[in-house]
Amino acid sequence: MSDEQVLRDLMAAGLDSLPGGGAEIFAERVRRKICHDKCGRDRWLAIHRLAHRLGMRSNVTMLYGHIETPAERVDHMMRARELQDETGGFQAFIPLAFHPDHNQMRKLPAPTASDTLRVHAVARLMCDNIPHVKAFWIATGVDIAQTSLWFGVDDLDGTVQEEKIYHMAGARTPEHLTTDEIKRLIARAGREPIERDTLYNVV
């Protein structure tokens, strides 16, 4: 089946959006070393371009804090920005902090709080055509995610019932937060909590 037929069949079965995982870093030098078993950058972008053309919204992630360079981070953001200029289909840019425990890159230091806040702030400036920048508190830690609301972030993700990937990699964050807990985090940061659905409609 073609990519288009797969997406059309999924849409017919009720799929409305794509989450954006697997983007990692678009630099092929890095992809060959950390995710050679995943599709390449051009295919990832082509699938999201196609999804946008078919009327689906999607997100774009960026895994940072491993072997990528600052220039490769900027390149990743610029490629997301360029596709957004073309299609307008991205809803959110989601930086994901690399956790080095329990994998083959465990000797690398984890991203610092300062680095995490810089990445989110630069993402907001570089990808100003993407409506939302999301802090994934399971990856950043709850306190840093809360602080990021003053560094360009406008979305905290999420209630999450059972998270496995980051906790298998050594994350020590809670495995879930209740809606009330997230509301308190946002309010204590001086922001207004607003509940949304997947497509960013206010609930």
Instruction: With a cut of 60, say whether residue 136 has pLDDT above it.
Output: yes
Q: Which of 59, 145, 135, 69 is nearest to 96 (CA)?
A: 135
Instruction: With a cut of 50, say whether residue 76 has pLDDT above it.
Output: yes
Domains, the chain, in order of start with CATH, read 16-188 (3.20.20.70)
Q: Exposed/middle/buried for 183, CB within 10 Å: 0-12, 13-18, 19+?
A: middle
What pairing do the DSSP bridges indicate for beta strands 90-97 and 57-64? Answer: parallel
Q: What are phi and psi of 170, to 5 degrees?
A: 105, 5
Percent of the chain scored above 70 by pLDDT?
A: 88
Q: Exposed/middle/buried for 127, CB within 10 Å: 0-12, 13-18, 19+?
A: buried
Predicted confidence band of residue 105 (pLDDT cuts 50, 70, 90): low
What value does the mean pLDDT take over residues 114-136?
A: 97
Predicted confidence band of residue 16 (pLDDT cuts 50, 70, 90): very high
Of 180 and 176, the structure prediction assigns the larger pLDDT to 180
Instruction: With a cut of 80, say whether residue 150 has pLDDT above it.
Output: yes
Does the CA dihedral 43-48-51-52 come out positive or negative? negative
